[in-house]
Structure 1
């Protein structure tokens, strides 16, 4: 990977803690393959119908103008999104689907009303795909190409295949910071407002700052500890080895493509901690110089959390009986507690949970809870004071 591409990956992960970086991040991705820009969409479901909304767009675009375009050509764009999705779901890895699937010929593509409008704006070809195939409503990536060039070349496709898994992971991990930003708080200055553990490490893995929830987890669990020199250490050798691998190089991240949750470090089943690591190259809250550390999120999945469970049922074809367990798992109940609550035998609950894990391609219950969080959860803790650096 070129040095420019490596710098782009570092900038991508800096957006985990600072959502305001996303427009420039996406513009840099576009420029590396001679594209006009990039847009991230998501489907929002309302009382009447679904709505295609812009999550973030590269700095070339005015998001308000994109909304005007979508309102005008909603039917055409909805059709295109559905076609792109159907082709994207065929593979686990992130491969963008080119727009030759939208029409039988280039001539027919150019005759479509939305494409004619795009041509007037200097855009002809597009390519799109799902960056998170666990939840196809979110992380829908699209790249737009100038009318003076053809579709993506093989080399450009290969380059995006290396870059987009990092975009997928960073965007997936950006939920907590985005919720803080929506309330006009900086990530590091308001970590104690989060219900998940957050810890910032420097380039030597020494703790720079940690929030209240991370301190609680350090005190109550033996999954990790801070040694005498101030370094964060994971108790199990296998976890520590993976942790060091993720810290060593930003390019060691993104190995699970469109299934970013699978890169999490999950504790043993009776602990229910799920740790996630992202590089932190620069942060304005820390300073203008390169920091070259990382940010660690640690979710205690034994605690109750809110989640949109209906989309999970639809996405994975869970039965009503299995869905009743999903709600109980979101309440933080163990299998034994669920059995007691529902008046069923523990082996029966174990079998049903095993079925849920199989359908959702999760290795552990902790991994399943992480999957649930990708369908929407509230990361803000109620009635907590914000901390400052």
Structure 2
């Protein structure tokens, strides 16, 4: 940018800084096209991707290029048949071009692209480039202005040439950050779907994440409390034990000598205790230093009800057989089940035999273990 006038160089420098900021924070991306247009003395900008299958994705454009819904199908077709993109591909990747390089005045007169599409958008002149992206699609940077504004100059070509590599890097960085964000979101959603509660803590029991099921179990269990953002228990001895378990898992996550994981029982009034298990989450190392380790805490409710509908789907049980299976999973005897359901003990045992046959088990204890392990997966 040393060959550019100071004011133009400062404007491009601010634009480049914004590109990288927007790559790290997607909330800053809207409006980027307007910044590019302003920095290059233009009225519109589009950044888009052309895929192998002919699909076009508009990543960002100025508001004057937004097409009403009624014209969207027509606009999509012109984007797929973009003459400037077709000619730029033949011209070469990452080469700054203008409309004058691509289309002769004689071709403009005959081209529907120039006679229909460009007048609709109110543009005529182009400076820009096509380039490869990390996703394998063809990226397009198009900067435009109307006919009466005049063709782009060599100076403006140089300005676009300054911006292009930074836009490419920012897009790659943004796509990488988006992939990491998606992976994080998927992991958090997976934790939320488990019918076992999950919390992520640091070494001091500070809560970093709580799954939906963990929140539900904690609300229903007064023994589990949160004190200034830290997981604790109402009873001091249990709190000390939890702290010891978490610290040991934290040490293990650091690669030091420590117990890799353990558990404790969280008492509940008139109910079976919750099972709390602790495990280390080892950090991943990267070029910018090692990520902080963490501790994963599972909360399991031994009284959690089995899902009748899911049992029927999984093992092909009838509605009554599924109800009997749920009762067995709660630890009830066939005699108690018969009384609760208002059926004879012989009928209850017949249902049990059918359930054993359908699940491929041979004893009641084996059946209960299978039901518990099969259904302790994901919440509906």
Same fold (TM over 0.5): no
Higher relative CO (Cα under 8 Å, sequence separation at least 6) belongs to 1
Structure with bigger gyration radius: 2
TM-score normalised by length of structure 2: 0.42
TM-score normalised by length of structure 1: 0.42
> More helix per residue: 1 or 2?
2
